[in-house]
Amino acid sequence: MTEIVSIHSYRGGTGKSNMTANLATTMALLGKRVGIVDTDIQSPGIHILFRLDETKIHKTLNDYLWDEGCSAEEIAYDVSYVLNNSNVQVNNPNGKIYLIPSSMKSEDIATILSEGYDVELLQRGFFEVIETFNLDYLFVDTHPGLNEETLLSIGLSSTLVIILRPDQQDYLGTAVIVEVAKELEVPKMLLVVNKALPDFDFGILKDKVHETYQLPVAGILPLSTEMLRLGSQGLFCLQHPDHPLTKEIQRIVQHIQN
């Protein structure tokens, strides 16, 4: 049975898209068939991490939501080449990554913002992608905050991964997300603290977050100069396979699988 994993945060700037891409890629390295849907339609861009040439993107999630004749197969792009073009040894060649990007064209974004779309189509798209590509996991990169699309993604999730920074606004916003997810009866919730300063006591920080929300803390990722230097020009877990941040991403994947 396919697991739907939504990656969400209350505020922008938490590193949500980078987290989604690296978690999905790490899962594919384990031999899983993985899909990624960029539902952050207002501010898309996860395809950049996979170096998917925009000139080769003919149709996107926007087309699926607006064109009744558009199929999931037309908007999904096989980006599994990233697994073979890295220095990481691929122990299981069965791993695949299919990416469904959203449009970065200003007119497409403006149309969505002004006219909206049928959210039920998004739900149908999730299941069509899962069936078409026989996925083990579908990762959903959500729009920050709460809106109709976000509520749908959270409600359909087998696992909800909530990203927050050690920041008071993030703490308060995350409490709202947790309460909403509980009302929607999400089966599993995991917390991930990102961009923690290296001089923090990670053990104390983990205990504080766990006590605040009474949920598992799957990982605490340090603010990384290597991640900043990478500047979204590739996937961190492939370019820095032995980095402590990559090891933490691997531990989060283990939490998702368990």
Tell me the per-residue pLDDT of 146-155, one tens digit each, with 9 for 90 and over: 988 889 999 9
- Helix segments in 76-214, DSSP class H: 81-84, 106-115, 119-133, 148-156, 168-183, 202-213
Q: What is the pLDDT of residues 15-42, one digit of tens each?
A: 999 999 999 999 999 999 999 999 988 8
Provide the percentage of residues in the chain whose pLDDT is more than 90: 77
Count CA within 13 A, CB hemisphere, residue 85.
8
pLDDT score of 42: 84
pLDDT at residue 222 in the model: 93
DSSP state of 199: T
Output the average pLDDT for the chain: 92
| Sign of the CA dihedral with 171 first, then 172, 174, and 179 last | positive
User: What is the model's pLDDT at position 24?
Assistant: 98
Q: What local confidence, expressed as pLDDT, does residue 86 receive?
A: 66
| Phi, psi at 184, each rounded to 5° | -85, 0
Domain 3-257 bears CATH identifier 3.40.50.300: yes
Q: Which residue has the higher pLDDT, 244 or 109?
A: 244
Whether 87 shows a pLDDT value over 80: the answer reads: no
Tens of pLDDT along 162-216? 999 999 999 999 999 999 999 999 999 999 999 999 999 999 999 999 999 999 9
* Residue 91 pLDDT level (bands cut at 50, 70, 90): low
Predicted confidence band at 8 (pLDDT cuts at 50, 70, 90)?
Answer: very high
